[in-house]
Structure 1
Amino acid sequence: MTELLFWLDIFGTVVFALSGALMAGRFKLDPFGVIVLAAVTAIGGGTIRDIILDAPVFWLANSYYLWVICLTALLTILFIRRPKRIPTRFLLIADAFGLALFAVVGTEKALSLGAPIPAAVVLGTITGVAGGMIRDVLCNVIPLILRQEIYATAAMLGSSLFALLSWYGQDHTLTLIAAILTTLLLRLAAIYWRVSLPAFHIRDKDNDS
């Protein structure tokens, strides 16, 4: 079981680092900028989670996360020469995989450290969305979590499903897979069909005709 979580965490690190590197390519950052953006995307959410839980920060305890991030960033630079030619949807899909994996793995870690279910769901959601939020802020882009798109909602629902199934004593492996797939499919469906939440909008009286 520990081995499965390890590989899910590594895969999530790779896809989030990839999404950060691709974003850096779109904004023509230098190699150092690519690595920085890949790193904050991949480890930002988990770092905040571990600090809140007063747990050892995962990438300080295990330096292989940093090696995975650097390798992913460098391979992206070497093999993807024209990031602007990559469809925006590819970046969103890579981000969706990272969101699903990190939201559920983050919830699992919070529960394993004794966090109550509501707190674990919040911490899982933070794990999934905070890295991408930092990435977007650094690129001067409105973060996905603050737009109309179903993003944090998908992470929260997946985290809630994992927490509830765990509470009811369901098989841990199946619970992990079900929660990850639920989050991923919700996010992919929102991307494909452009499903979004209604926007909050205050009309300016001076501009009313």
Structure 2
Amino acid sequence: MSDDYFHVLNLIGVAFFAVSGTLLGYEKKVGGFGVVVVASVTALGGGSLRDLLLNEPVFWVADPDYLYSTYAAIFISVAFIRYLPHVSNYYFLLLDALGMAIFNIVGIEKSLIGGTGMLIAITMGTTTGIFGGLIRDVICREVPSVMRGELYASACVSGGLVYAALFSLGTPYIWCIFGSLFTTIFIRMGALHWDWQLRFFKKKYRKSSGSSVDKSR
């Protein structure tokens, strides 16, 4: 991926996550500067952790364009909410899914450019995609989406696996990106719409007759 495309994609991801953080802050009635904090950690948290783990300069410190994108997205979101206060929760979920999908790609690409293997790149993509939202949910006293039964981190991993499969087949970068983006967004939004869940653990409950029955938790 060229530097220009990578830069633009990262700016878009930052803006989407800043908007989703602002919307959740509004929903939780976070006031004043608190909204800026929530939106900023949502937009910048995942990429900051990724860069620290990769021993790279933190992206928004190295390039202030990302801060401009974050603050502009916050300002526009606040202005939009002031004039249209009845904002559907659907927009928050959609923007969160878009931001997560884009940051997943950015994390994978940045890791591969840094010389890591594909497994580490997929892990870094998932970390980039979910960590900002995790901090956002904790600050807003929400159960983090990644800790619920619904598909969240799994959507990032699936998008990363699609990227890896297309990459190994020699597919042009642009189709690797589109394939990963579509997979991540489709799985995340599908999980919300159709209640898809990934269950690892089952418990056995005993009936009064003494027979046991498997029941998903």
Instruction: Please report the TM-score for the alignment, with normalisation by the length of structure 1.
Output: 0.91
**Which amino acid letter does the alignment assign opposite residue 183 of structure 2?**
T
Question: Given the alignment of the two structures, is residue 180 of structure 1 paired with residue 181 of structure 2, yes or no?
Answer: yes
Letter in structure 1 aligned against 2:100: L
Task: Specify the alignment match of 1:166 in structure 2.
Answer: 167
Question: 1:56-88, CA deviations, whole angstroms, 9 ceiling, x for partnerless residues?
Answer: 110000001111111111121122038873222
Retained in 2: the 8 A contact 1:148–1:199? no
> Structure 1 CA distance, aligned partners of 2:161 and 2:84?
35
Amino acid at match of 1:151: Y
Matches within 5 A, 1:197-208: 197-198=198-199, 200=201
Structure 1 residue 176 displacement after superposition = 1.1
Matches within 5 A, 1:30-179: 30-81=31-82, 85-179=86-180
Larger relative helix fraction: 1
Output the CA distance in 1 between the equivalents of 2:66 and 2:52.
Answer: 17
**TM superposition shift of 1:160:** 2.0
Contact 1:25 1:83 in 2 (8 A): no
When Rg is computed on C-alpha atoms for both structures, the one with the higher figure is: 2
**1:84-136 deviations in whole A, cap 9, x for unaligned?**
73222221111000111101111111011011111111110000000000000
Identify the structure with bigger relative contact order (alpha carbons < 8 Å, sequence gap 6+).
Answer: 1
Residue-pair matches, total: 205
TM-score, normalised on structure 2? Answer: 0.87
Mind listing any 5+ residue stretches in structure 1 that lack a counterpart?
Answer: none
CA–CA separation in structure 2 for the residues paired with 1:199 and 1:169 = 34
Q: Indicate the structure with greater strand content.
A: 2
Question: Is residue 194 of structure 2 the alignment partner of residue 193 of structure 1?
Answer: yes
Distance 1:92 1:203, change over 3 A: farther
Amino acid at match of 2:75: L
Of all paired residues, the percent bearing the same amino acid is: 36
